[in-house]
Amino acid sequence: MNTNRVSATLSNTDREAVMAALGVIREKLPFLIDLTTAERKTLSKLGDKTQPFVKKAVDIAQQHPELLPAAFLDEMRKDAQLLDSLSPIRLAIDLLQKQIDDTALQVGAEAYAAARTVYAVTKTPYAGAILRTAADDMGKRFGRKSRSAAAAAPAAPPKPAPSTPAPAPGNHNA
């Protein structure tokens, strides 16, 4: 069964173009921030039920501007609009990130499977001395000694079993 689901290359030119496009995205979104883990924990999370609540609050605040300071209302409106604008971008980037992660996982698994096949071939009886050296080098990945190194190393003599002293004669508590 062919498990090779991805058969593609990415040229340096295309990779550089993607990186440049990411640079353009960063330029167009200069307000993006990085939160610490502690900051993330303290913030209220906006879920599916909370978004309509925010929209309703913005509508009420706009209909009754006398309730709150103008600067507060302006900032609230900007935040709500930015949230609406970022939502489809976030969705698209989340999907793209998932696809990149899935593709990287798949090609990594394919490359590793192919490498294990090469390793297995280098260990066959038909492999020459150069391939056996390569097999020993590749085998270091698994943290085992090669068979030839294990055979060359003398076996350590077995350790004697610990003995328990026999009870003294005439001192039985039975």
At 72-130, the pLDDT tens digits run 999 999 999 999 999 999 999 999 999 999 999 999 999 999 999 988 888 888 877 77
Is residue 122 a contact partner of residue 132, using CB atoms and an 8 Å limit?
Answer: yes
Q: How far apart are CA 72 and CA 77, in angstroms?
A: 9
Q: Rounded to two decimals, what is the model's pTM?
A: 0.69
Task: Give the total number of structural domains in the chain.
Answer: 1
Q: What is the dihedral of CA 101, 105, 111, 115, to 10 degrees?
A: 140
- Across all residues in the chain, what is the average pLDDT? 85
Average pLDDT over residues 25-35: 97
Structural domain of residue 116, as residue ranges?
47-150
**How many alpha carbons lie under 13 Å from residue 88 in its C-beta half-sphere?**
3
Q: How far apart are CA 31 and CA 45, in angstroms?
A: 19
Asked whether residue 63 is domain-assigned, the answer is yes
Q: Return the pLDDT at 152.
A: 59
Structure tokens at 10: 């990415």
Asked whether residue 105 is domain-assigned, the answer is yes
The residue type at 97 = Q
